[in-house]
């Protein structure tokens, strides 16, 4: 008996990642990737003390949203196949 996971909403994944980087990945079931993203964003927050974080933080924040969206789409494509 095969159990299929419910489809993931790319929009929800992207919004969750917009609220807090890494949560969209966790929503998609990519737990370790989500935790990694959270750690990277915490390091970027600390890097704001030496100013480079003001560049890296928003870049990684946007990347996290795009990744969550694309990952949800990829998960849904695999589930349909």
Three-state SS for 5-64 is: CCCCCHHHHHHHHHHCCCHHHHHCCCHHHHHHHHHHHHHHHHHHHHCCHHHHHHHHHHHH
Q: What is the pLDDT of residue 81?
A: 72
What would the mean pLDDT of 46-71 be, rounded to a whole number? 96
Q: What is the model's pTM?
A: 0.89
Q: What is the pLDDT of residue 3?
A: 52
């Amino acid at each position: 008996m095969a159990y299929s996971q419910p489809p993931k909403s790319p929009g929800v994944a992207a919004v969750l990642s917009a609220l807090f980087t890494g949560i969209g990945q966790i929503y998609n079931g990519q737990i370790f990737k989500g935790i990694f993203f959270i750690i990277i964003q915490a390091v970027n927050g600390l890097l704001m003390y030496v100013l480079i974080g003001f560049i890296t933080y928003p870049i990684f924040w946007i990347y996290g949203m795009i990744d969550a969206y694309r990952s949800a789409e990829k998960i849904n494509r695999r589930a349909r196949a």
